[in-house]
Amino acid sequence: MDFSGKNVVITGGTGALGNAVVGALLEAGARCTVSFVHLSEGQRFAHSEHERVKLVAVRDLADESAVAKLYDGITPWASIHLAGGFAAAPIADTAKATLTDQIEGNLVTCFLCCQAAVNAMRSGGQGGRIVNVAARPALEWRQGAGMTAYTVAKAGVAALTVALAEEVAHDGILVNAVAPSIMDTPANRSAMPQADHDSWPKVEEVAATILFLASPDNRVTRGAVVPVYGKV
């Protein structure tokens, strides 16, 4: 896959999956604009010194003006939205604030970045690709037991992806999402030390799926929420 000369915006690009996605994009020749929240994220980011990486501090991706600044002056070929958050608790113990935080952090951020990306791509007139990140409970709702707020938010991301794909297909913009199960990251291994880590999808494997969906090689796939579950 060749991204030479193409601009790609990646939100949440300094995390475990983000590092894998940005690394693969750089190998394919892309110019990457990567958002981050805390200074320490940018400092730890493996690709922070790369000549084709631009790090942009964005305090809140649920803020329209902040998102507008992220996309200002960029004509992206692709926009990849990895930013989000997780919360698990029985519904009896889930405060309204937790539900609101999950919707803001997962669905609203994705919506606003999709909106900004579509406007920028339409201005460029060359089409483009958008890739969102849903989750396994977004497709298999029973998997969301004990994490209903997160499930509702990620199901919204899946619905947004499919509806938007239909809306902007005539502009040459193909919109898709991936739906990972638990990914093999240091944080997840630490949280679940007794789990079968070998069965989890690796971030590099999920990144490979994202890269194809975002690439010029993807000429026809749109409106897909692709399961990336590994062996479980």
* 71 counts as catalytic: no
- Residue 126, pLDDT score: 95
In which residue are the tokens 């604030």 written?
97
- Residue 93, pLDDT score: 97
Given 45, 71, 77, 150, the catalytic residue: 150
Torsion of CA 40, 111, 84, 42, to 10 degrees: -10
With pLDDT > 70 as the criterion, what percentage of the chain qualifies?
Answer: 100
Which CB contacts under 8 angstroms, 24+ apart, belong to 61-66? 61/11, 61/35, 61/109, 61/112, 61/113, 62/104, 62/105, 62/108, 62/109, 62/112, 63/112, 64/112
Residue 206 near residue 17 (C-beta atoms within 8 A) = yes
Number of domains making up the chain: 1
Question: If pLDDT is split at 50, 70 and 90, which confidence band does 58 have?
Answer: very high
Range of the domain at 89: 7-228
More confident residue, 231 or 98: 98
Residue 103 near residue 153 (C-beta atoms within 8 A) = yes
The answer to whether residue 59 is domain-embedded is: yes
Look over the chain and give the mean of its residue pLDDT values, rounded to a whole number.
96
Instruction: Give tens-digit pLDDT for 143-183.
Output: 999 999 999 999 999 999 999 999 999 999 999 999 999 99
Q: How far is the C-alpha of 85 from the C-alpha of 87, rounded, in Å?
A: 7
Instruction: Give tens-digit pLDDT for 190-207.
Output: 999 999 999 999 999 999
The answer to whether residue 47 is domain-embedded is: yes
Question: If pLDDT is split at 50, 70 and 90, which confidence band does 39 have?
Answer: confident
Residue 8 near residue 78 (C-beta atoms within 8 A) = yes
In a 3-state reduction of DSSP, which class is residue 209? helix
Q: What is the DSSP letter of 33?
A: E
Q: How far is the C-alpha of 228 from the C-alpha of 80, rounded, in Å?
A: 16
The answer to whether residue 108 is domain-embedded is: yes
Instruction: For residue 66, report the phi and psi dihedrals to the nearest 5 degrees.
Output: -65, -40
Instruction: Give tens-digit pLDDT for 92-149.
Output: 999 999 999 999 999 999 999 999 999 999 999 999 999 999 999 999 999 999 999 9
- Residue 210, pLDDT score: 98
With pLDDT > 90 as the criterion, what percentage of the chain qualifies?
Answer: 95
Mean pLDDT on 20-27: 98
The answer to whether residue 208 is domain-embedded is: yes
Question: If pLDDT is split at 50, 70 and 90, which confidence band does 231 have?
Answer: confident
The answer to whether residue 106 is domain-embedded is: yes
- Token digits for 31? 């110019």
pLDDT exceeds 90 at position 209: yes
CATH classification at residue 122: 3.40.50.720
The answer to whether residue 36 is domain-embedded is: yes
The answer to whether residue 209 is domain-embedded is: yes
Beta-carbon neighbour count of residue 163 at 10 Å?
12
Cα Rg, the chain, nearest whole Å: 17
pLDDT exceeds 80 at position 52: yes
- Residue 232, pLDDT score: 76
Q: What is the DSSP letter of 142?
A: G
In which residue are the tokens 């998102």 written?
67
The answer to whether residue 177 is domain-embedded is: yes
- Residue 40, pLDDT score: 84
Please report, for residues 30, 109, 143, 157, 210, the alpha-carbon distance to residue 214 in angstroms, rounded to integers and kept in the order given. 11, 19, 27, 17, 6
- Residue 11, pLDDT score: 98
CB hemisphere CA count around 47 (13 angstroms): 28
Least confidently predicted of 39-43, 128-132, 211-215: 39-43
Question: If pLDDT is split at 50, 70 and 90, which confidence band does 61 have?
Answer: very high
In which residue are the tokens 């690009």 written?
13
